[in-house]
Amino acid sequence: MRHLHIDAKLFIKNRERLKASLKPGSLTIANANDILPTNADGSLTMQANSDLFYLSGIEQEESVLALFPDHPDETMREILFLREPNEHLKVWEGHKHSKEQAISISGIRNIKWLDSFPTILHQLMCDADHVYLNSNEHKRAVVEVETRDARFIQNLKARYPLHQYHRLARIMHALRAVKSEVEMQLLKKAISVTKSGFERVAKATRQGVNEFELEAEFIHEFTRNRCKFAYNPIIAGGENSCILHYNQNDQALKNGELLLIDVGANYANYNADLTRTIPVSGRFSKRQRDVYEAVLRVQKASIAGAVVGKLHKDWFKESQEMMNQELLNLGLIDQKDITDQKPSEPACRKYFMHGLGHVLGLDVHDVGLMHEPFAPGWVLTVEPGIYIPKEGFGVRLENNILVTENGPIDLMADIAIEPDEIEALMARRK
């Protein structure tokens, strides 16, 4: 693992929160993700399963966590199954956790090798009344590839058809939405490194520089700080800034253009998510500044409006109403557009066509019960935008915030965002 050691108390506490949500006589199984293939004999880098990591801190392939909180035998209440290290694996794949290391990471005392899993699983199933199994229940997920969890569910139900099975995802979504203090420190680390990367890129931005050269600046800053990209970075100059998920990153920048940067660092599996829009020349034109300030006003008001008890749909609607007025002032829509708008198709949608924000954490578009009111401990992105293809530029601004009882806290308040701050930052270019 690239990140520094995390105190196992985090994962112990997370397991205790889960156990309190289970029915009596319950067994819970969490699996690692598969290592996905590419072409020929290639494979992608291992991506830790967010729920397994949340409960154990384990990021190693083929790992399995079994929790049975009220099992009569105390040694059967928490068991972590891992690949057994051997000389062959050491030569070809590198280090695998020893039992002592797994205990230090997870706080779980009973570590077993995977070859014992079938036997112990049968013993656990014989004693369990309820079984909680996991699946990807993110509402925007497109599930086309069969997962390790899906195979496990199918096999277990075939072998034990009379058990009562339950969805682990519903519980995990509620637990993971509320961030602990330790989780917030990991998130803040990712945000801090993202800030450093952005400032480095702002100083490297100038006419003739290619988008991929700026991506390389982020790679340097993230890697040397034990981070990786939270998602494919968007480095979009000129008209590319109007493409919401632009990933090509291969065009040279020109004076007079705006550069939209949507990027975040991932530290210890926790993700930052930042968007800034900066002028390639170092100075905004009047029109660019007018649009920029309109987006910034909506963002500031939306941050202030992210209070405990607010429903996401109402929060989003408020931002659309504000954006309607800003677009009216910019001459992009007229009053008739607002009068004739439909509830499902507000006038601003022509220029602000995406959502206002999402929950953030172990996944960039993190899990959470978004139909429920905002609660203390939620981390949200706030990312309004205006995109004007006919004028060759788009503006999006995105900060990450923490919802608290005393109002929202802007976790990116120290990252330049005011237009004067951006111009001052870029004036420091070499």
Determine how many CB atoms are found less than 10 A away from the CB of residue 49: 26
Domain count, the chain: 2
Residue 409 in tokens: 């806290």
In angstroms, rounded to a whole number, what is the distance separating the alpha carbons of residues 237 and 280? 8
Question: What CATH number corresponds to the domain at position 90?
Answer: 3.40.350.10
Per-residue pLDDT, 30: 98
Residue 128 in tokens: 């369990």
Per-residue pLDDT, 163: 97
Both 385 and 277 in one domain: the answer is yes
Question: What CATH number corresponds to the domain at position 243?
Answer: 3.90.230.10
Please report whether residue 1 resides in a domain. no
Positive or negative: CA dihedral 284, 191, 303, 410: negative
Please report whether residue 44 resides in a domain. yes
Both 170 and 248 in one domain: the answer is no
Q: Identify residue 106 by its one-letter amino acid code.
A: S
Q: Please, which residues have CB within 8 angstroms of residue 331's CB and are 6 or more apart in sequence?
A: none
Strand-strand pairing, 26-31 and 64-67: antiparallel
Q: Identify residue 346 by its one-letter amino acid code.
A: P
Helix pair angle (419-426, 286-304), 10° resolution: 120
Both 278 and 211 in one domain: the answer is yes
Please report whether residue 4 resides in a domain. no
Residue 76 in tokens: 């059967």
Structural domain that includes position 410: 181-426
Residue 256 in tokens: 């007079």
Q: Please, which residues have CB within 8 angstroms of residue 341's CB and are 6 or more apart in sequence?
A: 324, 347
- Distinct helix (H) and strand (E) counts, the chain: 13, 17
Both 190 and 240 in one domain: the answer is yes
Per-residue pLDDT, 1: 76
E strand segments, 264-383? 265-267, 270-271, 274-279, 379-382
DSSP labels for 368-386? --TTSPP-TT-EEEE--EE
Please report whether residue 199 resides in a domain. yes
Question: Of the candidates 118, 153, 177, which is a domain's last residue?
Answer: 177
Helix pair angle (181-204, 9-19), 10° resolution: 120
Both 311 and 342 in one domain: the answer is yes
Both 232 and 346 in one domain: the answer is yes
E strand segments, 134-227? 164-167
Per-residue pLDDT, 369: 85
Both 164 and 210 in one domain: the answer is no
Both 212 and 333 in one domain: the answer is yes
Both 110 and 218 in one domain: the answer is no
Question: Of the candidates 121, 150, 177, which is a domain's last residue?
Answer: 177
Strand-strand pairing, 409-410 and 399-402: antiparallel
Per-residue pLDDT of the chain in tens (430 residues, 90 and over written 9): 799 999 999 999 999 999 999 999 999 999 999 999 999 999 999 899 999 999 999 999 999 999 999 999 999 999 999 999 999 988 899 999 999 999 999 999 999 999 999 999 999 999 999 999 999 999 888 888 899 999 999 999 999 999 999 999 999 999 999 999 999 999 999 999 999 999 999 999 999 999 999 999 999 999 999 999 999 999 999 999 999 999 999 999 999 999 999 999 999 999 999 999 999 999 999 999 999 999 999 999 999 999 999 999 999 999 999 999 999 999 999 999 999 999 999 999 999 999 999 999 999 999 988 899 999 999 999 999 999 999 999 999 999 999 999 999 999 999 999 999 999 999 988 6
Both 206 and 275 in one domain: the answer is yes
In angstroms, rounded to a whole number, what is the distance separating the alpha carbons of residues 258 and 383? 17
Q: Identify residue 93 by its one-letter amino acid code.
A: E
Range 316-348 burial, b when 16+ CB lie within 10 A, else e: eebbbebbbebbbebebbeeebbeebeeeebbb
Per-residue pLDDT, 140: 86
Both 161 and 14 in one domain: the answer is yes
Both 23 and 138 in one domain: the answer is yes
Residue 322 in tokens: 């504000």
Please report whether residue 18 resides in a domain. yes
In angstroms, rounded to a whole number, what is the distance separating the alpha carbons of residues 115 and 100? 18
- Contact (Cβ atoms closer than 8 angstroms) between residue 82 and residue 111: yes
Please report whether residue 19 resides in a domain. yes
- Contact (Cβ atoms closer than 8 angstroms) between residue 46 and residue 35: yes
Question: Of the candidates 177, 201, 225, which is a domain's last residue?
Answer: 177
Please report whether residue 2 resides in a domain. no
Question: Could you give the residue ranges of the DSSP H alpha helices within 20-167?
Answer: 50-56, 87-92, 99-106, 117-127, 148-159
Determine how many CB atoms are found less than 10 A away from the CB of residue 303: 19
Per-residue pLDDT, 430: 64
Per-residue pLDDT, 429: 83
Residue 173 in tokens: 């979504």
Please report whether residue 88 resides in a domain. yes
**How far is CA 357 from each of CA 56, 297, 316, rounded to the nearest angstrom?**
29, 15, 8
